[in-house]
Amino acid sequence: MSDLYLDSLSLQEEMPRLAAQSRLVYLGLEEFLRSHPIPIKNEGSLLDVGSGLGILTALVSRHFPGIHVTGLDKSTDMIRFAQVSNPKMEWVNGDVASLPFSDASFDILLNSFFLIHLPQLEKSLKEMDRVLRPGGYILMIEPDQQATKVDPLIEKLIHSHGELGPGDRKALTQAESFYLGKAYEMITQQELIITTDGSDDAPELNYPNIKIGRMTAWSMISHMGQLMNLRDIYNECLESYMKKEISIQQFVVSIRLYRKKA
């Protein structure tokens, strides 16, 4: 099956959205990492699997000064961008299904807006489990589509977009059963609730709630309009949204921290 999500990904199209999404999510993630510090020493190592532009990788790495940071992504464009932006970190072009690292070689794994895109989730989770050392941590940040509330028309657009990709929008719950069925414990979980009754000038954090403006909210899903197959429904949504006939009430992003038992 061709991967219409990935095939349509290009730096030019994805950069503004991913950059804005990373900065928005980091507002809440920063608070999360402050209240639940991950006890990893300076000589440790972190791997961001599906690191994209590497913006979130770099922001998260601020919480672990002195640790070795690696980002891996399947897209050569993304890796090239990350390399130029953060040359001190290591950037690897590769596939999660076959990670080019030895067993137990990382202390922390990071996944962000990633698992929902994977065709063979279980295989990928096993591969990530292989490279994480016992006692290591997984920090997972994924959209929670069941808790996200949008108008039914927009829901249809998001659903159709999800159907085009090979991944599964239920990845969050599937990953949870995988980890808890293995030797992992959930350290903590926090939902960031992003509502759209704020200002477009700047997001407003009242942890774990974040307020953004209507147009900022639209920009989070506007990439869906690039896919020819979704043009009609996208344009219908856009027109109604601009007339304020329909709305996005809230996006929910789940942050989960797991520890692999030693």
Cα 21 to the chain's mean position, in Å? 9
23, 242 contact by CB (below 8 A) = no
Near ligand SAM by CB under 6 A: residue from 30, 31, 90, 95: 95
In the window 98-117, what residues touch ligand SAM (CB under 6 A)? 112-114, 117
Beta strands in 78-180 (DSSP E): 90-93, 106-112, 132-143, 149-150
The whole-angstrom separation of Cα 183 and Cα 259 is: 9
Near ligand SAM by CB under 6 A: residue from 28, 44, 52, 136: 52
Which is nearer to ligand SAM, 50 or 136 (by Cβ)?
A: 50
Which is nearer to ligand SAM, 139 or 233 (by Cβ)?
A: 139
| DSSP classification of residue 19 | H
**SS3 of 188, please?**
strand
- Rounded least distance, CB 262 to ligand SAM, Å: 27
- Rounded least distance, CB 117 to ligand SAM, Å: 5
- Rounded least distance, CB 88 to ligand SAM, Å: 19
Which is nearer to ligand SAM, 114 or 179 (by Cβ)?
A: 114
Vertex 177 angle, CA 171 and 180, to 5°: 135
Which is nearer to ligand SAM, 95 or 236 (by Cβ)?
A: 95
133, 113 contact by CB (below 8 A) = no
* Per CB under 6 A, 153 contacts ligand SAM: no
Question: Residue 200 is encoded by which pair of tokens?
Answer: 């477009």
Question: Residue 2 is encoded by which pair of tokens?
Answer: 């061709």
In the window 65-94, what residues touch ligand SAM (CB under 6 A)? 73-75, 78
In the window 226-245, what residues touch ligand SAM (CB under 6 A)? none
Q: How many CB atoms lie within 10 A of CB 124?
A: 25
* Interface positions with ligand SAM (CB under 6 A): 6, 9, 18, 22, 50-53, 56, 73-75, 78, 95-97, 112-114, 117
